[in-house]
A and B are shown apart, each in its own frame.
Chain A
Amino acid sequence: MNAFLVMCLFTFFLGGIFGTLQSLDKMQVDWYNFLPGPLRGLYYLGLTVHGVTLALMFVTFFIIPLLNLAVVHALKRPLKSRGLAQWSFWISLAGLVTTLVPVFMNQATVLWTFYAPLKAHPLFYTGLAFIVIGTWTTALNAYLTWRDWKREHPDERTPLQAFATLATWAMWVIASVGIAVSALYYLWPWSAGITDSINPLLTRSLYWFTGHPLVYFWLLPAYLSWYTMLPAQVGGRLFSESLARLVFLLFLPLAIPTGFHHMYTDPGVHANTKLVHAVLTFAVIFPSLITAFTVLASVEEGARRNGGKGLLAWVLALPWLSNPSVAGQLLAMLVFAMGGITGLINATFTMNLIVHNTLWVPGHFHTQVAGAVTLTFMAISYWMVPLLTGRALWGRKWAVIQVWLWAFGTMIMARGMHWMGIAGVPRRTFLSRAPYANFEEWEIAGLLVGWGGVILTVSALVWGVVLFMTAFVSKAPAKEEVPEAKPLIEAETMPALLDRITPWVVATLVLVAIAWLPPLYQIAVAHPSVRGWVLW
């Protein structure tokens, strides 16, 4: 597990460096010429590193140890196979190296979406497949561990933390089939010269088959913490266990049949298909609205037990300035709520015409993944790293400052990005060198993005220092354990369906087949395949 966290931090800081440069570019500070020799001036190489390391690797390498901890803690037994766990690590490490080597050799400057017919080095697609397979082996291990537990406890309900973990893995394993098929069956043979053409709309669709549920693969581990850990950390209980289970289960059928909302403006996809995916996109917001109530009610109960009073004044009884793990997660929720609203705007495909592929879109997903998810993971790290290293957290005050800086940095940067997006500034564009860039008009928005990025950079460095000092310098022994909240409303009368995953998997497969197979079939058979291009 520690080895995964080392890879997690490595990819975080590697991708973060380019994040800093990108945010500065938005206020016309072009530092790309200061990059060392072969990287000099290469904005899009940096952008590829930023997306691949942060969105595909950093989060995954945090989620794997977190979900393993949740299963081991909840089922009170070690993982079924130590060998499988080691294989997960070596496959993931192989994925990290094989993906990043061609990227840094400027052989795969295709961004993290790798839309064909931009053609990357074959190793790039192999490496991405390894990353996915590393998650599958971890999921298998969690399942086998649960199966052994179930054999010994046939009449017991699966503990919530283990149940939520299994639901998350089930969703992800189904969702990641799209990217795996795209990378291994279509892109790799084409890039290796075995096939000579590619259907760009098909690989793009398969990308978004996985690409949207990917955000729930980031989010559900954060929800796991908000539901089952945070209430205990504030001295409260989980408001309703049944609804917590329902929320995790609802993400199974609803997360995947939404991907065409990333392709609202694409030709070659029928408008009715887009409409179906729009309905389901609105539906998948529903479990997050339930979460808003259940998690806040749980936190409120904890605050009142600690002397919180009044209609709203109980909020002040929460440890905003004394407990970095709690403060970080509460701030993450605030940022997440903002991003939920901008997400609704994106989902509304008529309004989406104003913002599609502008800086608004990275503004939105930075509140969600850089804000809510990453900040929650940072907050979790403040108990997880002490637990795994056996050393008490070093510099608690610094940790508190760090989470506040991260929340403010995200909000300031995202505010600027949304603003520039509304003004029509395209995303993934080297603005400092774009002849049409009108920095006078965007000035304040650009400054928000740039300085927001600077605040995030400072916060990232503080996080790194706190974790380093905790792991290597801190002398006091850690007293941490995995937080686990007891339910306030006991789930005694809970329907049996809320303790089973198989029926939900079946429902998911049916819904996915209805929403994806007809358009994918039509795209695969009716649309032309084209040659590849290396344009960087």
Chain B
Amino acid sequence: MHIDRYERIWIIISALVLAALFGVLLYSYYGQGIHLETNVAQLHPAEAHATAPFDNPGLRQVGPKEYEAVMIAQAWAFNPREISVPVGSTVNFTMTSVDVIHGFKIQGTTVNRMVIPGQVTRARYTFTKPGEYLFVCHEYCGAGHHVMSGVIHVEE
């Protein structure tokens, strides 16, 4: 098969560029430790309110500067919808949905997750700057989807 010389060069460059970009992706994943959501655990949404830890949603301290935030997503609110932590805290979010698919994004951070009924969602983030962090549901979940939000107060 005849391939023009310039086109051959272009094809090689294209493949190399894609391989390099994929290498950067692998580096960011394994080297920088930016973690992807994986298969964590399942629970039936009808039993969520009676199953630990979702029987007691809220924030609790689990170590020095280390917190666990257990959250339930439901139409059209997060429970809890406000939490406060001192600056420098690492928060482990454990979430589930008791009705339809929701989303969870904390503005200005890398926390961006789907919350699916029947599934446990985990995320971890260290808040190094004080301020108000808005979080929103970013998956359509019915007529009131646009009011589903909350705030994390990161205090000095």
CB of A267 within 8 A of CB of B107, answer: no
Q: Say whether B37 faces chain A, with CB atoms less than 8 Å apart.
A: yes
Q: Tell me which residues across on chain A come within 8 A of B112, comparing CB atoms.
A: 265, 352-354, 356-357
Query: Which of B7, B37, B120, B136 meets A243, CB within 8 Å?
Result: B7
**Which of B22-30, B61-69, B82-90 is the contact stretch?**
B22-30
Chain A, residue nearest B151 (CB)? A436
Which one of A117, A267, A536 has the greatest number of beta carbons of chain B within 10 Å?
A: A267
**With A435-B147, A435-B149 as given contacts, are A265 and B37 in contact (CB-CB < 8 Å)?**
yes
Q: Say whether B100 faces chain A, with CB atoms less than 8 Å apart.
A: yes
Q: Say whether B51 faces chain A, with CB atoms less than 8 Å apart.
A: no
Residues of B102-154 whose CB lies within 8 A of A: 103, 105, 107-108, 110-122, 134, 136-147, 149
> Considering the complex of A and B, which 10 residue pairs feature the smallest CB-CB distances, nearest first?
A535-B142, A426-B138, A289-B14, A528-B118, A434-B146, A357-B138, A271-B38, A424-B107, A267-B119, A350-B28
Q: Say whether B75 faces chain A, with CB atoms less than 8 Å apart.
A: yes
Question: What are 17 A-B contacts with C-beta separation under 8 Å?
Answer: A118-B140, A200-B116, A268-B118, A271-B37, A293-B11, A297-B4, A297-B7, A348-B28, A350-B29, A350-B36, A356-B105, A357-B114, A429-B138, A430-B145, A528-B118, A530-B44, A530-B118
Q: Tell me which residues across on chain B come within 8 A of A522, comparing CB atoms.
A: 39
Query: Which of A201, A267, A354, A434 meets B147, CB within 8 Å?
Result: A434
Q: Give the complex CA separation of A535 and B22 in angstroms.
A: 40
B94 vs chain A, min Cβ distance (A): 11
CB of B3 within 8 A of CB of A242, answer: yes
Q: Say whether B72 faces chain A, with CB atoms less than 8 Å apart.
A: no
Q: Tell me which residues across on chain A come within 8 A of B25, comparing CB atoms.
A: 278, 282, 348-350
CB of A426 within 8 A of CB of B1, answer: no
Q: Say whether A264 faces chain B, with CB atoms less than 8 Å apart.
A: yes
CB of B7 within 8 A of CB of A240, answer: yes
Q: Tell me which residues across on chain A come within 8 A of B56, comparing CB atoms.
A: none
CB of A428 within 8 A of CB of B140, answer: yes
Q: Tell me which residues across on chain A come within 8 A of B99, comparing CB atoms.
A: 117, 533, 535
CB of B105 within 8 A of CB of A357, answer: yes
B135 vs chain A, min Cβ distance (A): 9
Q: Give the complex CA separation of A493 and B146 in angstroms.
A: 59
Q: Give the complex CA separation of A495 and B122 in angstroms.
A: 51
CB of B146 within 8 A of CB of A430, answer: yes
Chain A, residue nearest B122 (CB)? A267
Q: Say whether A316 faces chain B, with CB atoms less than 8 Å apart.
A: no
Q: Give the complex CA separation of A533 and B75 in angstroms.
A: 10
Q: Say whether A315 faces chain B, with CB atoms less than 8 Å apart.
A: no
Q: Give the complex CA separation of A113 and B2 in angstroms.
A: 44
Q: Say whether A344 faces chain B, with CB atoms less than 8 Å apart.
A: yes
Q: Give the complex CA separation of A286 and B18 in angstroms.
A: 8
CB of B146 within 8 A of CB of A270, answer: no
B38 vs chain A, min Cβ distance (A): 4
Query: Which of A271, A279, A352, A528 meets B42, CB within 8 Å?
Result: A528
Tell me the A residues contacting B by CB distance below 8 Å: 44, 47, 109, 111, 115, 117-118, 199-201, 204, 239-240, 242-243, 263-271, 274-275, 278-279, 282-283, 285-286, 289-290, 293-294, 297, 344, 348-354, 356-358, 424, 426-431, 433-436, 489, 491, 493-495, 498, 522, 526-531, 533, 535-536
**With A356-B112, A430-B145, A528-B43 as given contacts, are A344 and B21 in contact (CB-CB < 8 Å)?**
yes
Q: Say whether B50 faces chain A, with CB atoms less than 8 Å apart.
A: no
Chain A at the B interface: SS class: mixed
Which one of A270, A344, A424, A522 has the greatest number of beta carbons of chain B within 10 Å?
A: A424
Q: Give the complex CA separation of A283 and B121 in angstroms.
A: 29
Query: Which of A242, A271, A286, A428 meets B2, CB within 8 Å?
Result: A242
**With A242-B1, A436-B149, A527-B42 as given contacts, are A349 and B36 in contact (CB-CB < 8 Å)?**
yes
CB of A426 within 8 A of CB of B36, answer: no
CB of B2 within 8 A of CB of A117, answer: no
CB of B10 within 8 A of CB of A530, answer: no
Q: Say whether B52 faces chain A, with CB atoms less than 8 Å apart.
A: no
Q: Tell me which residues across on chain B come within 8 A of A283, comparing CB atoms.
A: 18
Q: Give the complex CA separation of A173 and B114 in angstroms.
A: 30
CB of A265 within 8 A of CB of B114, answer: yes
Tell me the B residues contacting A by CB distance below 8 Å: 1-4, 6-7, 10-11, 14-15, 17-18, 21-22, 24-25, 28-29, 32, 34-40, 42-46, 75, 99-101, 103, 105, 107-108, 110-122, 134, 136-147, 149
Chain A, residue nearest B45 (CB)? A530
CB of B34 within 8 A of CB of A426, answer: no
Q: Tell me which residues across on chain B come within 8 A of A349, comparing CB atoms.
A: 25, 29, 36
Q: Tell me which residues across on chain A come within 8 A of B39, comparing CB atoms.
A: 267-270, 522
A182 vs chain B, min Cβ distance (A): 15
Query: Which of A268, A278, A495, A527 meets B1, CB within 8 Å?
Result: A495
Query: Which of B37, B110, B119, B140 meets A354, CB within 8 Å?
Result: B110
Chain B, residue nearest A118 (CB)? B100
CB of B1 within 8 A of CB of A286, answer: no
B111 vs chain A, min Cβ distance (A): 8
**With A204-B101, A267-B40, A267-B121 as given contacts, are A426 and B137 in contact (CB-CB < 8 Å)?**
yes
**With A348-B24, A493-B2, A528-B44 as given contacts, are A267 and B114 in contact (CB-CB < 8 Å)?**
yes
Q: Tell me which residues across on chain B come within 8 A of A530, comparing CB atoms.
A: 44-46, 117-118
Q: Give the complex CA separation of A424 and B28 in angstroms.
A: 21
CB of B38 within 8 A of CB of A270, answer: yes
CB of B2 within 8 A of CB of A267, answer: no
Q: Give the complex CA separation of A199 and B21 in angstroms.
A: 35
**With A204-B101, A426-B103, A430-B146 as given contacts, are A436 and B29 in contact (CB-CB < 8 Å)?**
no
**With A266-B37, A266-B116, A357-B103 as given contacts, are A282 and B143 in contact (CB-CB < 8 Å)?**
no
Chain B, residue nearest A522 (CB)? B39
Query: Which of A109, A271, A493, A531 meets B36, CB within 8 Å?
Result: A271
Chain A, residue nearest B38 (CB)? A271
Q: Tell me which residues across on chain B come within 8 A of A200, comparing CB atoms.
A: 100-101, 116-118
B74 vs chain A, min Cβ distance (A): 10
Q: Tell me which residues across on chain B come within 8 A of A199, comparing CB atoms.
A: 118
CB of A201 within 8 A of CB of B100, answer: no
